[in-house]
Every structure is written in structure tokens, then in C-alpha cells.
Amino acid sequence: MKKLTHTTLSIFILFFSLISCNDLDKTPEDKINHEVYEMRVYHTYDGRFDDILSRFENHTTKLFEKHGITNVGYWTTLKKDSASFADKFLIQNDRKKALVYIVSFKDMDSRNESWENFVNDPEWIRVYEESRVAGPIVEEIEQIFLNPTVFSNLK
């Protein structure tokens, strides 16, 4: 086994002590990933739910990526008569289906810039208008911003 020199050993100790000290100085808030996750819920007008799914599948998700919006996941709600292990349903929607999705950004400034670029994209404006020829699709949008915790798989 090769013997460590005094200099090598000193550098090794200094390196690991800096890592440890930096980690010890951090509060739980400092350790949180400051990436922004945005969850949105789209409630549609009667008879327009398939239209929102089609618009997202064929256009919106691709335009999101074009403008730096990372598609994390998309879901539709399931009907349930009572909340289980919770006080209430987050999404009531009068038992109609809703589109729920999560997108992410490196930070809030990036999020704001990406959304601004997206809503002003000529292709989005065209797709949006074409999809509304038979009337508006989305009746209401809910949103919440989320940051992963230090114990999240998303950290």
C-alpha cells in the first residue's frame, strides 16, 4: 500500500473538512432544491375535456419544451365519492374530469420568462385560436408552486 505524504494527507483533510463544514452550515432551507415545480389543474367546459387533451398532446407539450418548460407529468382525475385518509378533495370539479399536470423550471425567473415566451409564441396563438373555434375549452385554471424537500426523490 502506498504511503500518503504529509502534503497529500493535508489536502485530503482540508478538502473533506470544507465539504463537511459547508454541509453543516446549511439550514434545511439551504439544502432544498430551488427548482420550481408548477402544478396546474384545468377544468373544462361541458363537452370540451377531450379537446384540452388533444391540444396538449398534439401541440402544448411540444411548445412548452421549446420555451424551456420541462414536462414532468400529466394526469386526469378519477371519480371518487369520498376522500380517504384526507379531510377533503383538493379538486372538486363537480365530479367532472380535470387535467392535472406538473411542469418544472430551474427557478422562478426562468418560469416567468418561459411562460411569457410561450403565450406570445405565434404558433401557440394560432393553435389556441383554432382550438377555440367551437367555443372556449378551459373554464378555470388552478395552480400551485412546489419545491422538492431534501428527502424528495426530486432533490
How do residues 9-27 score in pLDDT, each as one tens digit?
444 443 444 444 444 555 5
Q: Is the pLDDT of residue 73 over 80?
A: yes
Question: Is domain 36-146 classified as CATH 3.40.1590.10?
Answer: no
Strand, helix or coil at 139? strand
How far is the C-alpha of 67 from the C-alpha of 124, rounded, in Å? 11
pLDDT for residue 41 is more than 80: yes
Domain regions of the chain by residue span: 36-146
Q: What is the pTM of this model?
A: 0.74
Position 10 scores a pLDDT of 46
Largest CA distance in the chain: 79
pLDDT beyond 50 at 48? yes
